[in-house]
Amino acid sequence: MTSPPAGKPFYITTPIYYINARPHVGHAYTTMVADAVARSRRLLGQDVFFLTGTDEHGQKVERAAQKAGRSTPDFADEVAESFRQMCRDLRITNDDFIRTTEPRHHRATQELWKRVADKGDIYKGDYEGWYCTVDEIFVPETQLVDGKCPTCGSRVERLKEESYYFRLSKYQQPLLDFYARNPTFVQPDFRFNEVRTFVEAGLQDLSVSRTSFQWGIPVPGDPKHVMYVWFDALTNYLTALGLGSGDPQSESRIQRFWPGVIHLIGKEILRQHALYWPAFLMAAGVKPPDRIVAHGWWLMGGAKMSKSLGNVARYQDYVDVFGVDGLRYFVMREMSLVGQDANFSDDAILARFNADLANDLGNLVSRTTTMIHRYSGGVVPELPTTRDELDAQLEQQLTNTIQGVVRKFETFEISAALQETWELVRTVNQYIVKREPWALAKRPDARPLLEGTLYRAGDALRVTAALVDPVMPEAAERIRSMLGTSQESWAGLKPGTLQPGTRLGQTTPLFPRIEKTVEELRGMTSQQDAATPAPQEDKRISIDEFMKVELRVAKVLEAEAVPKSKKLLKLKVDTGADQRTIVAGIAEAYQPEQLVGRTIVIVANLQPAKLMGVESNGMVLAASPEGGLPVLVAVDPSMPPGARVR
Ligand code: MSP
């Protein structure tokens, strides 16, 4: 195994979060993952700098403060504190917490601006166009979807104001050259391709200042303008190293940790990180960052968990029920960091908690430590010199798992690392079952075999605690205290180093099973922002209300894909009374040609709505399992179009 040399600098960042709303599971996720990566690097002996913080400027925050009837700085202080609190709640080991309203950040950002301006890459002009305040991005007219933001679907605003521009167009070729020289710049690969394709299509200069509001960092020499919030925000990664501080030590910090940085982000802000940021830096004469790792989204009810949609899960609710480690384990096991989106649901977290933590790991811990207490007086026995095939296999798997987990952490495959660790956990459980220590204990001649079993199970548990440490620091600590061992570095981790004679601590249940139904759990976890509580009244409807929905049999006459949409199909259907167009979100499950001639069920009296520019007159009924593809509701094909379904 080739581990990085001890003391090698390692810098990891999370996005700095907007403070228009309090943190939810989405923000918690990136922060917990960055924490696990940082912890793994510390365990390898690297010199880690881990940064998180808050992005506090911009119109969105200014408006949120106004809406709350608060002064912007007061509002900023309060919400920023809730992000700091999240770090404490989730055992985040960040080395610094940056707020863009701090003087050190103003200095750094103005310094970077000056360097870019000195290079001649900033000029004054007029901006006229569309702006999405939710994402704080300029949206070219051609990219609007139904007049709305293509990223978040919010309404965009028309801006017409004097603005400074950054010569982004000049950096098209330098960026492409940089990408070619750095094939691992963006991970995963498929996201890198999206960036490349975008840049290859050509870049326009970017508006980097605003005059219509004040809550931002003034442009040096022209304070009527405040800097575009992304120019300001991205600079945070250098502020924390001391850019613009005038302190000679900071130069050495920049040299130490830059450009060897990993920016961990969600996929929706990839363009800003993989394109704007390296371009700004090239213009300022600073090397672009080493790597951007962009993960997918947590979805809830099929859509991105987000404050603006109101479908957010509060991390606190899940910590209350599953503990910090339960939540950390679930999110890191369930969603591949270098993969696709994943569903956040109570069913999934409950199932994983009980199966993986209460059952697999919990059993291993309680069996192993109870056995050593019962058959060896609570003291780790000597390892006998003999070993059989089963022992050899276990030892081999331990060695392989250590190497596999370290390697997978280095390539950000944390879910796969956990999967491999759990294969080990299951093997050790089986090893104990096969050895039957309770039977061996009754045979004095089997004492060496019994001691070998106790030692090896204890040793495997020691390794397991070390391997889960970055993801579940609290559980790792508790296992160590039950085993009587202390924290171990990953650098020298190998089987067979549990010290004979070690006295065990008391065994306590690690992850007691949660005997709740999902319904009970749902009552405890609000599944939405506490700021917008759902009314608790009786939600059942009367027969009259139901009958208002006109469900009818229809026959599909034509079907085709909706251009530029992955999910939508445009159907022409015969409803008995008319022929009409319905847009259905079933393109991932059905080919258009599979649908022609099918008898389906529709909601016939729905108000028309435009989807991706196509007017839909009704809705097709389909069943969608959690996280799965939709399946059309079927009726007997002999039913004529127009028949009422009730
Ligand atoms: N302020 C900018 C980032 C500037 S970085 C220089 C911003 N802030 S944000 O508050 O909107 O946070 C976005 C980040 O939060 C995402 O990139 C991701 O890391 C995390 N997430 C927010 N919602 C999420 C999901 N539903 N799923 C996964 N991560 C999510 O953008």
Greater confidence, 497 or 137? 497
104 CB under 6 A from ligand 1?
Answer: no
Nearest protein CA to atom 22 of ligand 1, as residue: 26
Return mean pLDDT, the chain. Answer: 93
| Burial classification of residue 502, based on how many CB atoms lie within 10 Å of its CB (0-12 exposed, 13-18 middle, 19 or more buried) | middle
The predicted structure's pLDDT at residue 527: 52
Ligand 1 pocket test, pick from 261, 269, 280 with the greatest ligand atom count within 8 Å of Cβ, gives 269
Taking residues 540-566, report their average pLDDT. 87
The predicted structure's pLDDT at residue 548: 84
What are the phi and psi torsion angles at 386 (to 5°)? -90, 150
Are 334 and 537 spatial neighbours (Cβ–Cβ below 8 Å)?
Answer: no
The predicted structure's pLDDT at residue 354: 97
- At 526, the pLDDT band (50, 70, 90 cuts) reads low
Residue 44 above 70 pLDDT? Answer: yes
Are 89 and 117 spatial neighbours (Cβ–Cβ below 8 Å)?
Answer: no
- At 378, the pLDDT band (50, 70, 90 cuts) reads very high
Ligand 1 pocket test, pick from 20, 32, 37, 55 with the greatest ligand atom count within 8 Å of Cβ, gives 55
Cα 61 to averaged position of ligand 1 atoms, centre (Å): 15
Could you say which DSSP state residue 246 is in?
-
Nearest protein CA to atom 12 of ligand 1, as residue: 17
The predicted structure's pLDDT at residue 531: 39
Amino acid letter, residue 573: V
SS3 83: helix
Helix-, strand-, coil-residue percentages of the chain, each rounded to 5: 45, 20, 35
Taking residues 528-548, report their average pLDDT. 57
- At 515, the pLDDT band (50, 70, 90 cuts) reads confident
Tell me how far CA of residue 13 lies from CA of 37, 90, 249, 279, in angstroms.
10, 16, 21, 19
Question: What percentage of the chain has pLDDT greater than the value 90?
Answer: 79
The predicted structure's pLDDT at residue 627: 61
Least confident among 6-10, 417-421, 550-554, 621-625: 621-625
305 CB under 6 A from ligand 1?
Answer: yes
Cα 151 to averaged position of ligand 1 atoms, centre (Å): 13
Ligand 1 pocket test, pick from 24, 27, 265 with the greatest ligand atom count within 8 Å of Cβ, gives 27
For the record, the structure tokens of 534 come out as 């759902």
Element (H, E) at 315: helix 315-334
Selection from 463, 486, 493, 497 nearest residue 3 by Cα: 493
The residue length of the chain stands at: 646
Cβ neighbours of residue 368 under 8 Å, at least 6 residues apart? 428, 432, 454, 457, 458, 460, 461
Tell me how far CA of residue 73 lies from CA of 62, 101, 216, 255, in angstroms.
9, 9, 11, 33
Taking residues 306-322, report their average pLDDT. 90
Selection from 635, 613, 634, 625 nearest residue 568 by Cα: 613
CA 209 to CA 194: how far, in whole Å? 27
Residue 101 above 90 pLDDT? Answer: yes
Least confident among 156-160, 260-264, 322-326: 156-160
